[in-house]
Structure formats: structure tokens, C-alpha cells
């Protein structure tokens, strides 16, 4: 029954966004002749990787998000820094990203099967979809044909929505990428899998207005949850990690919305979803279930995000190794 639901979800989503993707020249069957087994190869590798390290699902999904918000979905987040350039991956917002070695492992398999054919940008898009699916989440058709960018600069990561963002900032940053308020509230639920370092939210526990004391807390954060988080995090802690969706951080589901509705969203950006009537209604609606509807929405929004500022045709290149330009 679950697989049938996922299939119907994918089919519906494909029709919804078909017209928009045609403009970007992405195709469902882009590799049908040049690398017909690309998705099977990625799925097999992702299955093996997550069976050993299931906690990598969240980081790989996050990496796709961080890639698409800077220069579009061009794989630039995967490029290493050089002597003369600090790349995106070494900028503060990306220093906690994980999964680079896993993606390079998959890239080697793809290069062996189909040399100089599959872009790192497409690989990341497929791997992110599989990370969600293998965490008991939805699936969706990944439109392919992205080319890899040749530029990666740390200073451009200011385009990434920070965990401290308020609702106005979030809507502006999502809107700059052609994404809607609905995409914002739906994609935020990617926080249902994965972990976060304390430094991303510790100000809400100790220093929300700059007073640095135990009473200087974010009033939007549940007080019992604050007490619980304080047992794990200090204000200056930059190494400890906590589950973003406690008790369910390896399972993709609607429990994220239940937490946000209770004032237990980990980040200020999570709490910001309650500042707007549309996003607040969406949070409370899905906090009470409707998982199949959320899965369909998440699939649609992931496809929307995966279409942001893509390089196609003769633009960019197909990197042989994802961490270095050709």
C-alpha cells in the first residue's frame, strides 16, 4: 500500500510541475541512452551507505538545499577550496555539512559505468531524493540534465537562509530563488531528519537579546524544551549535536510539525513559521496527520527547488570528480 501511495504521489507531482521544468530543459529520461542505470546505481550505493550510517540522510538532503540556494543547483557546494579561493563548503554555514565522501564514492561508481556523463549536480539531486525515500519518506521523479558549475565562493553563502532568520527574511530569501511561501513551510520540514550543532540555536537558550543570562530566552521556545536542551548545550558549545526531531530524527514524517506547533522547533526559523497565517495553518494542519498530503507537497517543493537556476546544454561542465573542476 505504501509503495502504491508513493507512486501515485510521484505521478501527480510530475504533472503539476511539468510545464515549469520544460523551460529549464531538464528531462526525466535525460540519461536514457547515455547512462540508463544512473538512478539504480545511486539507489544501490545510497542504500549501502545509509545502512551503515543512517544519520547521513539528513546531511545529504541539507547539502542539496545548500547547493541550490547558492548559484543554483550546480554542485558548487561540493568543490574544494584552493590556495587562492575559499569555496562554499568552507564557509561558516557549510562547515557542519557531512556526506562529501559518500557522494564521491557514488561518483566513482557512476564514472566507472558511464564516464564523463552524469553531473555532480544531478548526482546530488538523486541522492537527496533517495535519502528521503530510504528514511521512510516520499519519492518523486528527479528531472535531470543539470550541468556542473565551475565557480564556488564562500562569500556567496550569504544567500543561505540562516537558522536565526525571521519570517520576513525567510520569504525574501526563498522568493529570490523563485520559491513560494508554501515551498518555505514544506521544505522546512526537512528538519524532521538529521541533527544540529548547539551553536545554531544556543542563543535561544541563553542570549536571545544579548544579555547572556538564564532569563534571556526566546519566548517562542517551550520552557520545558529549553530546560532539556540546556542539559546538552552551553552558549559557547560548537561541537555537541542534538536531534532536530527528537525520537524520530532518522524517520521522515510529520512529527516536525507537531514539534513546531508545540513551540519546540529547534531553530528560530522554525518558530517563524507560526508568524504567518498561511504557514501557521499548514503547520497545525499537518501536526494532526495528513502525512500523504504532506508527502505530495514535499515532493513538489523538492522538484521546484531542484530547478533553481540550473545550468543546462553547453553551460558549465561534467566534473570527473565532484570536489574539483576539470
> Which residues are tagged catalytic?
66
Q: How many other C-beta atoms can be found within 10 angstroms of the C-beta atom of residue 96?
A: 15
The reply, when asked if residue 183 is annotated as ligand binding, is: no
The reply, when asked if residue 74 is annotated as ligand binding, is: yes
At residue 74, φ and ψ (nearest 5 deg) are -125, 10
The reply, when asked if residue 80 is annotated as ligand binding, is: no
What is the rounded CA–CA span in Å between residue 321 and residue 326?
Answer: 8
Per-position DSSP letters for 230-245, written without gaps between them = HTT--TT--S-EEESS
The reply, when asked if residue 40 is annotated as ligand binding, is: no
Look at residue 196 and give its three-state secondary structure. Answer: strand
The reply, when asked if residue 90 is annotated as ligand binding, is: no
Cα–Cα distance list, 138 to 31, 56, 132, 270, 293 (Å):
23, 17, 7, 21, 10
The reply, when asked if residue 130 is annotated as ligand binding, is: no
The reply, when asked if residue 67 is annotated as ligand binding, is: yes
Strand partners, 197: 241
The reply, when asked if residue 122 is annotated as ligand binding, is: no
Q: CA angle 285-288-294, nearest 5°?
A: 60
The reply, when asked if residue 286 is annotated as ligand binding, is: no
Q: How many other C-beta atoms can be found within 10 angstroms of the C-beta atom of residue 177?
A: 18
The reply, when asked if residue 192 is annotated as ligand binding, is: yes
Q: Give the residue ranges of the annotated binding site for Ca(2+).
A: 67, 70, 72, 74, 76, 88, 192, 245, 253
Q: Give the residue ranges of the annotated binding site for heme b.
A: 191
Q: Give the residue ranges of the annotated binding site.
A: 67, 70, 72, 74, 76, 88, 161, 191-192, 245, 253
Q: Give the residue ranges of the annotated binding site for substrate.
A: 161
Amino acid at each position: 500500500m505504501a509503495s502504491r501511495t508513493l507512486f501515485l504521489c510521484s505521478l501527480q507531482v510530475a504533472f503539476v510541475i511539468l510545464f515549469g521544468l520544460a523551460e529549464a530543459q531538464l528531462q526525466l529520461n535525460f540519461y536514457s541512452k547515455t547512462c540508463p542505470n544512473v538512478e539504480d546505481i545511486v539507489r544501490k550505493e545510497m542504500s549501502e551507505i545509509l545502512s551503515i550510517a543512517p544519520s547521513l540522510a539528513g546531511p545529504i538532503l541539507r547539502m542539496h538545499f545548500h547547493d541550490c540556494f547558492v548559484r543554483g543547483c550546480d554542485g558548487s557546494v561540493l568543490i574544494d577550496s584552493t590556495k587562492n579561493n575559499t569555496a562554499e563548503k568552507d564557509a561558516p554555514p557549510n562547515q557542519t555539512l557531512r556526506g562529501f565522501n559518500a557522494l564521491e564514492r557514488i561518483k566513482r561508481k557512476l564514472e566507472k559505468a558511464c564516464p564523463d556523463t552524469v553531473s555532480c549536480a544531478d548526482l546530488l539531486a538523486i541522492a537527496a531524493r533517495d535519502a528521503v525515500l530510504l528514511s521512510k519518506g516520499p519519492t518523486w521523479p528527479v528531472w535531470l540534465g543539470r550541468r556542473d558549475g565551475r565557480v564556488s565562493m564562500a562569500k556567496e553563502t550569504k544567500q543561505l537562509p540562516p537558522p536565526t532568520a525571521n519570517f520576513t527574511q525567510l520569504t525574501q530569501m526563498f522568493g529570490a530563488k523563485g520559491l513560494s511561501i508554501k515551498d518555505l513551510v514544506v521544505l522546512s520540514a526537512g528538519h524532521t531528519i538529521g541533527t544540529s550543532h548547539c551553536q545554531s540555536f544556543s542563543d535561544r537558550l541563553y542570549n536571545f537579546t544579548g544579555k547572556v543570562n538564564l532569563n534571556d530566552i526566546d519566548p517562542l521556545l517551550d520552557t520545558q524544551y529549553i530546560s532539556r536542551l540546556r542539559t546538552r548545550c552551553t552558549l559557547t558549545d560548537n561541537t555537541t549535536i542534538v536531534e532536530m526531531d527528537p525520537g524520530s530524527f532518522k524517520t521522515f514524517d510529520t512529527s516536525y510539525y507537531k514539534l513546531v506547533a508545540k513551540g519546540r522547533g529547534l531553530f528560530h526559523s522554525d518558530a517563524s513559521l507560526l508568524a504567518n497565517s498561511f504557514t501557521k495553518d499548514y503547520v497545525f494542519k499537518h501536526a494532526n496527520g495528513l502525512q500523504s498530503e504532506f508527502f505530495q507537497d514535499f515532493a513538489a517543493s523538492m522538484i521546484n527547488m531542484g530547478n533553481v537556476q540550473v545550468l543546462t546544454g553547453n553551460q558549465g561542465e561534467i566534473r570527473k570528480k565532484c570536489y574539483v573542476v576539470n
